[in-house]
Amino acid sequence: MKQIPASLLTLTAGILITLVSLWVGQHHGLLPEQASEAAVLVDQLFNVMVMIATALFLVVIGAILLFCFRYRRAPGDEDDGIPIEGNLPLEAFWTAIPAILIIGLGVYSVQVFQEMGGFDPGSIHVGHSMIGGAVSHAMPSHEMHAVPQGSVAMMAQAPDDGAIATDATADLLADLPEGTEPPATPVPRYGFGANAAEEGHTPDLVVNVTGMQYAWLFNYPNSGIMTGELHIPVGKDIQLNISAQDVIHSFWVPQFRLKQDALPGQSSGLRFVATKVGTYPVVCAELCGSYHGGMRTQVVVHTPEEFDEWLQQNAVAQQQNPSQTVAVNPAELSDRDYLSPYAQEMGVSDQVLSQVLAQVRSRS
Amino acid sequence: MTQAQVPLDDAALVADHDHAQVHKAWKWYHYFGYNIDHKVIGIQYLVTAFVFYLIGGLMAVGMRMELATPDPDFVDPSLYNALLTNHGTIMIFLWIVPAAIGGFGNYLVPLMIGARDMAFPNLNAIAFWLNPPAGLLLLGSFFFGGAQAGWTSYPPLSEITAPVAQSMWIMAIVLVGTSSIMGAVNFIVTIIMMRVPSLTWDKLPLFCWAILATSALALVSTPVLAAGLILLLFDINFGTSFFKPDAGGNIIIYQHLFWFYSHPAVYLMILPIFGIMSEIIPVYARKPIFGYKAIAYSSLAICLVGLFVWVHHMFTSGTPPWMRLFFTISTLIVAVPTGVKIFSWVATLWGGKIRFTTAMLFAVGLLGMFVLGGLSGITLGAAPFDIHVHDTYYIVAHFHYVLFGGSVFGLYAAIYHWFPKMTGRMMNERLGQVHFLMTFIGANLTFLPMHSLGTHGMPRRVAMYDPQFTALNQLCTFGAFMLAASLIPFIINAVWSWTRGPKASDNPWNALTLEWTTASPPIIENWEVLPVVTHGPYEYGMTEEALAVE
C-alpha cells in the first residue's frame, strides 16, 4: 500500500522538475541579445546546460530540504539514525548518470566549438577583402597566396612582435598613395577561424584590431582606414586579427558571445558573422591597468549599403587629410584629462596619446 | 566509544582531567611564540588566518563601496586594483589555505590518528612562522603602490606596474608556497607513518584522507608556481626577459606555470573542507557516512584529475584548439567525483536524527551553496560558453559560491564543531544561529546577482561599469555589508565563549573519532595512554552486539 503513493509522488515530482527545468532552460533571461551566428550556438549550449543544472539543483536541494525536515531530531530523542554505510547500486547509479551527462555535454561542446570555427584559427587568406566593390586596394598576388592553410612554416614567419600595430599606425598617418601595399596582416595562431559555412572561403572583410592602454584601434588594411570603433557589415564573414601593443587585453562583444585575448607578441583572431544591425559594446575583459574598466568602445553593425557609405567617407577623409583628425573635436577633452596622467606614468608620449585620442574621437 | 578503555564514571573522568590540565597544559603566552606542539601551531594558524580574513574582508568592503556607483569615485582606480589583487591573494594564501590545511590539518590530524605530534614538529613550526612575514610583505606593499596586476599577476602588466610592490607580492607568495610545501611533506609522512597500529587505512577518518590528497597535490603543483614567480621576479628586477614579448619571451608560458598550481589551489582550498564535511555531517545526522570508500577515493581522484584541468583558465588566451577541447573534457570530468561526494553527504542525511547545531547549519548551508557553485562550474568547463563569460562577474559569482559558500562555510562549521575541543568551552548556539543566517543571506545577496551581471556584459576587475548594471551592483554591495556585519555576532561569540563560555566535556557532540577521546582541550602530547582503535570512525547507530560481531 505504501509503495504506490510513494512512487506516484516520485513520478509527479519527476514530471514537475522536468517541466520546470525545460521552462527555466528557455526563460532564464541570463543572456543578452544575439547578434552573431556564434551567439545562437553558444546560447543553445548554455540553455541545455541550464536545463540540466536546474533539474540537478531541484533534485539535490529538494532532497536536502526534504531530509532536513523529515529527519530532524525530535526533542529529547538521543537515539542514532539508521546505520546504513553504503549501497553499491545507488552509488554506481549516481556516478554513472553524471558521467553520462558530462560526456554528452563534452561531445556537444566539441560540436559547437567546431561549428563556431574553433579548429582552424590560422587558416585565412591574408587581405583580399572586397565589399561590394567599394574597396579599391587589391593585394599583390604573392601576398594573397602567402599563407597556406595551417602551415607551420608560415606561422613561424609571421611577424611576432608588437611592432605590427605601430607600423600600421605609421602607415595610416602617412599619406597613403594609390596602390600602396597595406601593412602585412599577422597570421592568427589562436582564436576562432571560419565556421562551417564559410570554411575554405576568404573572409569578406579583414580588420586588424590593436589593444593598447586604454583604447582599441581598428585598422582596415585594404582601405587604410583607422578608427577607434569597429564598423562592420551585417551578414558578412568578418576576420579580426587581434594583437596588443603593451599588455594583454581581451576583445569581447557580449552580444556576439565572442572573446579573444589580445596578446603582445602573439597574434590571435576571431572570425564571425554578425547577424543583427545595431550598436554593441566592445569590452576589454582582461585586467590591463588602472583604467581597465574605462577601456570601452563599440561595434557598429551596418547594413551593407550603409557600410559602403561609411567606408567611402572615411577612406576619403582619412587619406586626404590624416593630420587634421588629430586636432578635432575639443568637446571630448575629458578623455585626455582622463588618460594623460596615467599615460605619463606609463611613459606613453604625448604624441602617441594624441593619436589614440584622435582615433577614438573620429567616430562618425 | 572508539577506544577500548575501561569505562569510567563522569566524576572520575573530570577529576582525572583536572589533574592532567594542571600539569599538562600550555599557558596563554605559549601561543605567541615559537612552539612545536601541533595543537599550538594549529591555533596559531587559525587565529592568524582569521585576522587576515578580516583584513581581506575589509578590502572587499572597500571594493563593494566603490562599486555602489558606476563611476570610480570612492577609491582611485589604481588603489582599486591594488585592493582587488590583495583581497584575492590574502583570502586564498593567508586565509583559506592556512586555516583549512595549516589550522585544522595541524590541530586534527595527529589527534585523529592517535599520534602525539606531527612527524617533524620543528618543520611544522617553521612552516607557520613563514606566514606572518608573508602577510606583512603584502600589507607593506601598499606603501609602494600595491601590487595591481590581479592575483594572477599576468605579465607584461605585472612587469610594468608598481615593480617594488609586485616584487613584494611575489616574495610573499613564495614564502607561503614554501610553507605549504613544508606542511605537505609533514602531513604525508605523519599520516603514513604515525598512525596508531590499530588504525588501519579503512578506518582512517575522511578528513585525514582529504589532507593526504591535498598534501600530495600541493607537493606536485606548488614548486611550479614558485618557479614561474621567481622567473617573473627576475624579469622585473634583473633584466631577464622570460615573459617579455619584445625581447624573445613568451607571456603564455607564465600563464601555464601559474595555472598549473593555481587551478589545483582550488582543490587545496576545497578538499580539506570536503574532509571537514565528512566529519561533521555523520556526527549531527547520527549516521555512518554514506559510502566511506567512495568519498576517500573521490578525494584521490579529484587530486589526480585536478592536475589536468588548468588550461580552462586560458581558453580565451593563447590556447590552441586541441587544448581547448582536451581541457573541456578533463574539466567536466572533475564534476563526477565531486558529485559523488555531494550525493554521499545528502544520502548520509537520509534516515538520520539530524541535530541542527550551528556547525550542522553551516554544513547544510555549504551543501546548498556548493551545489549551485558546482553547477555553474560545469557551464564554465564547456569551452564555447566559457569564452563568453571568462573574466566576467559570472566567474566572480562562481568562485565565490565555491570558495565563500564552500570553503568559508566549511571553516565556520569546523570552528563551531571543534571549538569545544580546542578551548574546552562551548560556543553560544543562539549567536551562532544569528551568524549563520546573516552569512547565508548575505552571501546569496552578494554573489547571486553577479551571475546575471557577468552574462550581460560586466567584466571583472573594473572600478567603473556601465550604468545599466547599477541596480544589481547595489544589491551586491548591500549583501557585502550584511556579510561584514555577520562577523560581529561571530567575533563576540568566539571571544566571549573562549574566555567565559560554559565548560565543555571531552565529547560534547558524542562523536566517534579519536580526537574526542582525549581531554578538552587536549593535554600536551595528546593522551596519557595512546588509544586503541576497535572500530571505524563513523559507526553511529550500530548496536554493541553488531560492533562486537564485527
Q: Is the Cβ–Cβ distance between A249 and A297 less than 8 Å? A: no
B124 burial (CB, 10 Å; 0-12 / 13-18 / 19+) is: buried
What single letter denotes the amino acid at residue B338?
Answer: T
- Which residue of A45, A84, A291 is in closest CB contact with B290? A84
Range from A275-279, B205-209, B308-312 carrying the lowest mean pLDDT: B308-312
Instruction: Mark yes or no for CB contact B542/A291 under 8 Å.
Output: no
Within 10 angstroms of residue B500's Cβ, the number of other Cβ atoms is: 8
Selection from A321, A264, A306, A266 nearest residue A156 by Cα: A266
Residue B342: closest C-alpha in chain A = A60
Q: Give the separation between CA B355 and CA B371, rounded to whole angstroms.
A: 22
Considering the domain delimited by B35-546, tell me its CATH architecture: Up-down Bundle (1.20)
Asked if the C-beta of A164 comes within 8 angstroms of chain B's C-beta atoms, the answer is no
The pLDDT assigned to A331 comes to 46
Chain B residues whose CB is inside 8 A of the A190 CB are 317-320
Cis omega before residue A214 (within 30°)? Answer: yes
- Is pLDDT above 90 for B324? no
- Which residue of B288, B390, B456 is in closest CB contact with A32? B456
Q: Most distant CA pair in chain A: distance in Å?
A: 94
Instruction: Mark yes or no for CB contact A94/B245 under 8 Å.
Output: no
Please state, in angstroms and as integers, the Cα–Cα distance from residue A247 to each residue in B179, B462, B483, following that order.
32, 16, 35
Instruction: Mark yes or no for CB contact A71/B354 under 8 Å.
Output: yes
Q: Is the Cβ–Cβ distance between A83 and B287 less than 8 Å? A: yes
Asked if the C-beta of A248 comes within 8 angstroms of chain B's C-beta atoms, the answer is yes
Chain B residues whose CB is inside 8 A of the A73 CB are 286, 353-355
Mean pLDDT of B187-204: 93
Q: Give the separation between CA A117 and CA A191, rounded to whole angstroms.
A: 9
Q: Is the Cβ–Cβ distance between B523 and B25 less than 8 Å? A: yes
Range from A107-121, A329-343, B67-81 carrying the lowest mean pLDDT: A329-343
Give residue for cell 531541484. Answer: A58
The pLDDT assigned to B125 comes to 95
User: What is the Rg, in whole angstroms, of the alpha carbon atoms belonging to chain A?
Assistant: 27
Instruction: Mark yes or no for CB contact B390/A263 under 8 Å.
Output: no
Instruction: Mark yes or no for CB contact A120/B546 under 8 Å.
Output: no
Residue B448: closest C-alpha in chain A = A30
Q: Most distant CA pair in chain B: distance in Å?
A: 77
Mean pLDDT of A247-256: 94
Asked if the C-beta of A53 comes within 8 angstroms of chain B's C-beta atoms, the answer is yes
Torsion of CA A31, A33, A34, A40, to 10 degrees: 40
Asked if the C-beta of A80 comes within 8 angstroms of chain B's C-beta atoms, the answer is yes
Chain A residues whose CB is inside 8 A of the B372 CB are 57
Instruction: Mark yes or no for CB contact A95/B455 under 8 Å.
Output: no
Residue B293: closest C-alpha in chain A = A86
Give the up-direction half-sphere exposure of residue A356: CA atoms within 13 A in the CB hemisphere. Answer: 24
End-to-end Cα distance, chain B: 15
- Which residue of B318, B342, B379 is in closest CB contact with A49? B379
Residue A88: closest C-alpha in chain B = B291
Measured between CA atoms, how close is A190 to chain B, in angstroms? 6
Q: Give the separation between CA B133 and CA A8, rounded to whole angstroms.
A: 62
Range from B15-19, B298-302, B341-345 carrying the lowest mean pLDDT: B15-19
How sure is the predictor about B2, in pLDDT bands with cuts at 50, 70 and 90? very low
**Per-domain residue ranges for chain B?**
35-546
Q: Is the Cβ–Cβ distance between B158 and B166 less than 8 Å? A: yes
Q: Is the Cβ–Cβ distance between B523 and B24 less than 8 Å? A: yes
Q: Give the separation between CA B282 and CA B331, rounded to whole angstroms.
A: 30
Work out whether strand A296-302 and strand A230-233 pair parallel, antiparallel, or are unpaired.
parallel
How does DSSP classify residue A361? H
Measured between CA atoms, how close is A224 to chain B, in angstroms? 26
What nine digits make up the cell of B433? 544561529
- Which residue of B319, B382, B391 is in closest CB contact with A285? B391
The pLDDT assigned to B25 comes to 77
Asked if the C-beta of A42 comes within 8 angstroms of chain B's C-beta atoms, the answer is yes
Instruction: Mark yes or no for CB contact A71/B350 under 8 Å.
Output: yes
Chain A residues whose CB is inside 8 A of the B456 CB are 30-32, 254
Contacts of B266 (CB under 8 A, 6+ apart): B306, B399, B402, B403
Higher pLDDT, B21 or B283: B283
Please state, in angstroms and as integers, the Cα–Cα distance from residue B235 to each residue in A124, B160, B167, B232, B245, following that order.
35, 10, 10, 5, 12
A 298-337 near B (Cβ less than 8 A): none
The pLDDT assigned to B338 comes to 93
Asked if the C-beta of A46 comes within 8 angstroms of chain B's C-beta atoms, the answer is yes
Mean pLDDT of A20-47: 92
Instruction: Mark yes or no for CB contact A110/B452 under 8 Å.
Output: no
Burial readout B216-231 (b: 16 or more C-beta within 10 A, e: otherwise): bbbbbbbebbbebbeb
Mutation pick from B255, B391, B547 vs chain A, by most beta carbons of A within 10 Å, is B391
Q: Is the Cβ–Cβ distance between B222 and B160 less than 8 Å? A: no
The pLDDT assigned to A119 comes to 75
Chain B residues whose CB is inside 8 A of the A210 CB are none
Higher pLDDT, A161 or B393: B393
Q: What is the pLDDT of residues B466-505, one digit of tens each?
A: 999 999 999 999 999 999 999 999 999 999 999 999 999 9
Instruction: Mark yes or no for CB contact B459/A293 under 8 Å.
Output: yes
Chain B residues whose CB is inside 8 A of the A67 CB are 346, 349-350, 352, 354
Selection from A201, A217, A220, A225 nearest residue A273 by Cα: A201
Average of per-residue pLDDT values in chain B: 90
Mean pLDDT of A123-137: 38
Residue A61: closest C-alpha in chain B = B368
- Which residue of A80, A112, A248 is in closest CB contact with B286? A80
Mean pLDDT of B264-275: 93
Higher pLDDT, A350 or B443: B443
How sure is the predictor about A152, in pLDDT bands with cuts at 50, 70 and 90? very low
Cis omega before residue A121 (within 30°)? Answer: no
Instruction: Mark yes or no for CB contact B325/A32 under 8 Å.
Output: no
Chain A residues whose CB is inside 8 A of the B329 CB are 106
Measured between CA atoms, how close is B466 to chain A, in angstroms? 9
Q: Give the separation between CA B274 and CA B334, rounded to whole angstroms.
A: 14
Which CATH number applies to A185-319: 1.20.1300.10, 1.10.3720.10, 2.170.260.10, 2.60.40.420?
Answer: 2.60.40.420
Contacts of A195 (CB under 8 A, 6+ apart): A37, A38, A115, A116, A117, A271, A272, A273
Instruction: Mark yes or no for CB contact B336/A95 under 8 Å.
Output: yes
The pLDDT assigned to B514 comes to 92
Mutation pick from B73, B258, B332 vs chain A, by most beta carbons of A within 10 Å, is B332
Chain B residues whose CB is inside 8 A of the A68 CB are 349, 354, 356, 364
The pLDDT assigned to A3 comes to 47
Q: Is the Cβ–Cβ distance between A212 and A235 less than 8 Å? A: no
Chain A residues whose CB is inside 8 A of the B76 CB are 290
A 6-35 near B (Cβ less than 8 A): 29-32
**CA dihedral over A50, A55, A58, A59, signed as positive or negative:** negative
Q: What is the pLDDT of residues A284-293, one digit of tens each?
A: 999 999 999 9
Instruction: Mark yes or no for CB contact A290/B368 under 8 Å.
Output: no
Q: Which pTM does this prediction carry?
A: 0.85
Asked if the C-beta of A263 comes within 8 angstroms of chain B's C-beta atoms, the answer is yes
- Which residue of B81, B339, B342 is in closest CB contact with A290? B81
Selection from B377, B364, B385 nearest residue B403 by Cα: B377
Instruction: Mark yes or no for CB contact B251/A61 under 8 Å.
Output: no
Q: What is the DSSP string of B183-226?
A: HHHHHHHHHHH-S-TT--GGGS-HHHHHHHHHHHHHHHHHHHHH
Higher pLDDT, B258 or A319: B258
Rounded to 5°, angle at Cα A38 from B449 and B384: 60
How sure is the predictor about B434, in pLDDT bands with cuts at 50, 70 and 90? very high
Q: What is the pLDDT of residues B244-255, one digit of tens each?
A: 988 888 999 999
**Per-domain residue ranges for chain A?**
8-69+98-116, 185-319
Measured between CA atoms, how close is A68 to chain B, in angstroms? 7
What nine digits make up the cell of B359? 556547525
Chain A and chain B share a number of CB contacts under 8 A equal to 287
How does DSSP classify residue A206? E
Instruction: Mark yes or no for CB contact A81/B452 under 8 Å.
Output: no
Percent of chain B beyond pLDDT 90? Answer: 78
Q: Is the Cβ–Cβ distance between B21 and B423 less than 8 Å? A: no
A 203-242 near B (Cβ less than 8 A): none
Which strand (E) or helix (H) includes residue B56?
A: helix B38-66
